[in-house]
Amino acid sequence: MIFEQLPSIESDYIWHGRGCRLLFTIIEVLVYLREAKFVIIDYGKIIQLIELKNLKALIDSDIPEHCRDSLKEYISGLLPVGNEYPVHEFITFRFLKIDTSYFS
């Protein structure tokens, strides 16, 4: 599976840590969009934002600089060249399984 294609690193948890860091950045972006742009936030927006193509578009958007820097580092520095999409899917697949019924 995709896990076998991941570059060897010290610990499997590092990949999940990268996903958590990405999620924290997305949360910061969503808070910014809500407070500065008055965007209504829902789970669907989170799912849209964590798609790799949308993360790349966010880098060129009007978001706080530290969020842009974090996204640049994630895309350019943390994802292995040639395997960006499958590795990104592996990192974020748990976010897609969040049960939102608890929030209703």
The pLDDT tens digits for 52-103 are 999 999 999 999 999 999 999 998 887 878 888 888 888 888 766 666 565 5
Please check the confidence at residue 1 and state whether its pLDDT lies above 50: no
The answer to whether residue 28 sits within a structural domain is: yes
Average pLDDT of span 15-28 = 81
The answer to whether residue 16 sits within a structural domain is: yes
* Residue 20 contacts residue 94 (beta carbons within 8 Å): no
Query: Distance between CA 81 and CA 85 in Å, rounded?
Result: 10
The answer to whether residue 102 sits within a structural domain is: no
Query: Distance between CA 42 and CA 47 in Å, rounded?
Result: 9
Supply the pTM of this predicted model: 0.74
Residue type, 98: I
**Domain coverage including residue 74:** 11-96
The answer to whether residue 3 sits within a structural domain is: no
Query: Distance between CA 14 and CA 81 in Å, rounded?
Result: 17
